Amino acid sequence: MSPAYMMDNVDTMSEVTQAISKLESFDADLRYMGLSDLKSIFEGPQRLTLVSEHYRVLQQIKSEVLKHLADPITEVQTQAVKTLGPLIKLLPEHEIVSVISSIATQKSSTVLTLALRTVIQSSLISASIGDVIVQLVLQRSNETEYKPRIEDCDVVNDLIRRFGPYLEQPNINPLLELIMTRVEKKQGTTGNIVRRRSFEALGLLAPFESDEQWEAQRHFIASTLVPPAAASINGVKLVMDLCTTAPNRVSTIPNVVKSILDIAQTVEIDETNVELIERSLAATETLYLSGHISAAQVVELVKKFTQYNPNYVGGDDTAEDEDMGSEFELSDDEDFGYDDDLSWKLRRYAVRLAIDVAENDQVQAVQLVHPLIELLRIESEQAVQEQAVAALVNFTTTPELLDEIRPHVGLFIDLASKEQSTGVYLPLLSALADTDALGQAQIQSIVSIAASRSKRAVLPATLSLVQSLASEIGPEPKLLPLVAQGLADVEYQTVTLALDAALALGSPELVETVYNVLRKTQNLSIQGQALKVTAAITDEAHSEQVLLYELNALDKPDLQVPALAAIQELVERFHLSDAAITQAAIRVLELLKSSKLRAVAYAAFRILRRLANRNRMLSSDIFEAAQSHDTWDPTTTVYKCELLSEISSTAGVADFALAAGRRFCDIPGADDTQLAIIKLWGAIASTSFAPELLAKAQEAASLGKGAQFWAQVVAEVAVIANVPVDVSFDEFGVYLITALAERNRSATSLGDLAQAIKSNEVSPLVLGPAMAELALSSGKKTELYQAASAASDVASAEMYLSALEVLLQREPDAEIILVARKLVDVPPGPDLQLVGKLLGQAVSSLAEGFDVLNGWPVLYQLVGAKHAFKTVPASSQIELENIFVGHLTDTDIHVRETALEALSWALQQAKGASSPLSKLIPGIIQSTYVDKSLLEVIQMGPFKHTVDHGLAARKTAYEALYALASTRGNEIARASGAQLVDALVRGLRDEHDVRMLALYILEALASSGPSSSRLLAEAKPLLSEAFTEIEAIKVRETSVKQEHDRQAEALQALDVTKRAIGMI
């Protein structure tokens, strides 16, 4: 044991001893402090020492904490309850049970319920602990003169939330009876709250009830939904809860949809019923989003409640111009009453329903545009106006809905012009400005509205409107004072929006104002944004002054990167004087020498490249700085190469190019860096250094490192300098042939190159790309196809497959796949991983060309397609999965098996499915059935042996399900429900390998989320039968050891699974 560990151990015990001694004090403050100290120990790293080394001390602490639950001082009792939570997490299951028994003896009901809730929220989740808590709850409810309190309901609700899946049926029944007893009681304010919490408990318990228990409950729920007299807020809320906790049971409630809709449509709207109707609208939303109510039914409710406004007492609510396409007009005789009612809540919720419909059913949503516009015309409640505006803003993103809104733009402008204080209509004007719905006259009207909305409360919304208008109006003078006001504000959001508006307007007049923001604020984010804006909005006349601003900002380390980006923009956009360029170069060079930050170096090299291009007199200084900046990370090297390409005439650049090439020539993943170095060699090749460069590159290649890289360098130099090079048929020579062909210089013929495969000196994977590039540069693809089709040995086949992959990248066509089919037949067969890689490229390049793959028996040989999934772009993954799914029902078992294998691998590689589960699940589950036509009975002497030719396919189907359960278990539980349970039960009764996969799937589902937990809870009776059958399997004593091992493995996995899903 290390001295440090022993010291920590001693320190922990000293802290515990001191805390316990405080608990024995007569001083309540000390007792409180002792409990607080223990709580800190339980939550800190010392707890591990207590659990592993001092179990008896932990027992003593437990006793002390429980004793102080009955402390005479309330504050000490409360602290004891708080300490109980982290203590419970350290105790084993049997100790937690004893704690619950001690809590049950507490005389104070408040302490008892608080302590019990703490235990429920902190303890291990197990059936035995849940059982003890249920018994305690039931025991207390049977006590004489017991009256349920709100806290008692909270205990029950917490218990169901945490232990629901682990509650046994014998406990659920009395618990349900207790809840129903509380539901039926009505006794004042407390009784109403108890009743409401008990309704909530019914929703929580529903997923775990048996069919018989639910049968009685669903009729009770239906009885609480009958309007008008029997309809209750609690019943409606319960339906909403059930849509979340037990969605598959909602539809079994008699007339549930009709009842909810009837409440909304028939209950009289008055002060006493507003909450009930609002709840019914909320329930309608939940039922609609869960698929129980149609969009058409929701649309009717929206129309009704958007038109209901008892405060509106004047004008014709429905009057429109004779021309149906004209805009609404506000009439002078309209007025509003001032009844103190809450009907606005119903209109607001109706608008929320309209948004739901628009997001899910655009066809039905078209009917809602006019009701919402009419609502805005007469609405006086700001909360409803804001919701309606939000809905119409949402509508503008859909072309069909925008077309309905377009004729009424004038009304919105009129409403916005009359509303001065809240800016409620400005977001809608912004949304319209982002579309093509506005004419020039309307844009000018909106500009005038924006210019007049300068009150600080509406300034953020106004600035957003200015940003939306900017693309249409340019640097509008009317709006510049508004932006300047926003820039002078102190609120972060307002200043940020003002900067965005200034950038959008692009007026040089705002440069000084924006720079003032930079000087007055300490917020780095705003300062960085201000630097960007000043560089973007300045003009030629002010560019050098702005350059000075940006150079001054380089003195602040946190602003160096955004300042350098702004300087780069100035250098690229404007014709700066030589003096300004020199000043900028000197300052950036100083920064490059002093800063160690890579981001600063990256930005500095980009600027220096531009400066070198503008002023050749700076070349030597810039080269010296680049050389002295001795950093060789890949990105910095890229920027150095780009910089030095501008000053390639300097003699030392060639030495840098050679050093960079040697450093990066064989580093995997440095493609961008290698390409930048190759381009630098090309830049130097245009100078007088070309012969010397070519010799250096060839000498570097002869060292045996980075043959492919140096071949690219030699080809770049040779082509740009127009000098000849000799080629050979070794590895470097073939790479050089490839590189030259990529630059449209042919160095040999296809026939000669094909002969190189016979020497076995060059890999087919090197020769293949050379063949492809040579065919492309010489226009001889057909000749390549003919040679590939005639290939008779594996090495040649692999060479041509590699060539075909390159052709798929460069010039894809369906014939490539037809040639590849022939190559896979070359005995004994090429590398399947190579074939799979080609297929993956085919998915990327021939999205429309998969018709040629209809001959799926060939793909039985292309099982390597599974290796290709990683190479397939995300946009093509769904298509590839759909191809596999489409062949799950093929008549050829080999094709089905291959499709399943490929799909299973794809799901594992993608860590889930990219295709909708509704497409994937049915085909996979269908593949889990035993196909009797594939069962073959073989006579072996006096014995008969059954061979299942479909077993491999079934096993692969369960592997695919396991891939889904491991990553999207909650979703497949919702998507497949009973079908998934049936498949798993079949799997548990199948052969050993399939049985094990079914157990693994169940274990994965147990920890996936609430939907899968509910599904497993409902499936317990079916699973229990299958589990019993597994346990009853008897292996004969005379069987081979493998059979005994397999059964032991199954029983062990079964035990783990039962524990995971709460059946132990």
Instruction: Specify the pLDDT at position 871.
Output: 41
The secondary element (H helix, E strand) that includes residue 945 is strand 943-948
260/237 Cα distance (integer angstroms): 11
In the chain, where the domains are located: 507-631, 632-725, 879-1064
681/739 Cα distance (integer angstroms): 14
Contact 581, 611 (CB under 8 A): yes
799/834 Cα distance (integer angstroms): 10
Q: How confident is the model at residue 341 (pLDDT cuts 50, 70, 90)?
A: low
Q: Any idea which architecture 879-1064 has in CATH? A: Alpha Horseshoe (1.25)
326/408 Cα distance (integer angstroms): 7
Contact 495, 486 (CB under 8 A): yes
Do you find a cis peptide bond into 72, omega within 30 degrees of 0?
Answer: no
When pLDDT is averaged across residues 411-427 and rounded to a whole number, the result is: 86
Residue listed under structure tokens 């030095």: 644
3-class DSSP state of 416: helix
Helices then strands, each counted (H, E), the chain: 56, 2
Residues recorded for the chain:
1064
- The 8 Å CB, 24+ separation contacts for 421-426 are 421/455, 421/457, 421/458, 422/382, 422/457, 422/458, 423/453, 423/457, 423/458, 423/461, 423/462, 424/382, 424/385, 424/386, 424/389, 425/385, 425/389, 426/450, 426/453, 426/458, 426/461, 426/462, 426/464, 426/465
Using one digit for the tens of pLDDT, what is the confidence trace for 743-795? 888 888 888 888 888 877 888 989 999 999 999 988 899 999 999 989 989 89
Burial of 394 per CB tally in 10 Å (0-12, 13-18, 19+):
middle
Using one digit for the tens of pLDDT, what is the confidence trace for 250-279? 888 888 888 899 888 888 887 788 888 889
Instruction: Specify the pLDDT at position 89.
Output: 83
HSE value, Cβ hemisphere, 13 Å, CA-based, for 390: 16
499/789 Cα distance (integer angstroms): 64
- Helix pair 74-88, 93-103: axis angle to 10 deg: 160
Using one digit for the tens of pLDDT, what is the confidence trace for 91-131? 888 888 889 999 988 888 888 899 999 999 888 777 888 88
| Letter string b/e over residues 331-346, b meaning 16 or more CB atoms within 10 A of that residue's CB | eeeeeeeeeebebbbb
Torsion of CA 516, 522, 525, 527, to 10 degrees: 30
CA distances for 1015 relative to 208, 801, 814, 999, angstroms: 9, 48, 46, 15
Average pLDDT value over all residues in the chain:
82
Can you give the pTM of this predicted structure? Answer: 0.60
789/809 Cα distance (integer angstroms): 20
Number of other CB atoms surrounding residue 421 within 10 Å: 10
- Helix pair 543-553, 511-520: axis angle to 10 deg: 10
Phi-psi region at 320: left, alpha or beta (left = phi > 0; alpha = psi -120 to 50): beta
What residues pair up with 945 in beta bridges, in sequence order? 938
957/976 Cα distance (integer angstroms): 15
Instruction: Specify the pLDDT at position 321.
Output: 37
219/600 Cα distance (integer angstroms): 71
Going by the DSSP 8-state scheme, the letter that residue 946 receives in this structure is: E
When pLDDT is averaged across residues 280-309 and rounded to a whole number, the result is: 88
Res. 823: pLDDT tops 50: yes
Using one digit for the tens of pLDDT, what is the confidence trace for 972-1020? 887 787 888 899 999 999 999 999 999 999 998 888 877 788 788 888 8
Instruction: Specify the pLDDT at position 862.
Output: 39
Q: Where are the alpha helices (DSSP H) in 508-559?
A: 511-520, 524-537, 543-553
544/531 Cα distance (integer angstroms): 14
Instruction: Specify the pLDDT at position 316.
Output: 44
Angle at 394 between CA 393 and CA 396, to 5 degrees: 65
Q: How confident is the model at residue 878 (pLDDT cuts 50, 70, 90)?
A: low
Contact 458, 423 (CB under 8 A): yes
The lowest-confidence range among 409-413, 597-601, 811-815 is 811-815
Find, among 904, 915, 1022, the residue nearest to 966 by Cα: 904
Contact 1023, 1016 (CB under 8 A): yes
When pLDDT is averaged across residues 568-596 and rounded to a whole number, the result is: 86
Using one digit for the tens of pLDDT, what is the confidence trace for 154-208? 999 999 988 888 888 888 899 998 988 888 766 555 668 888 899 999 999 998 8
165/310 Cα distance (integer angstroms): 49
Instruction: Specify the pLDDT at position 340.
Output: 55
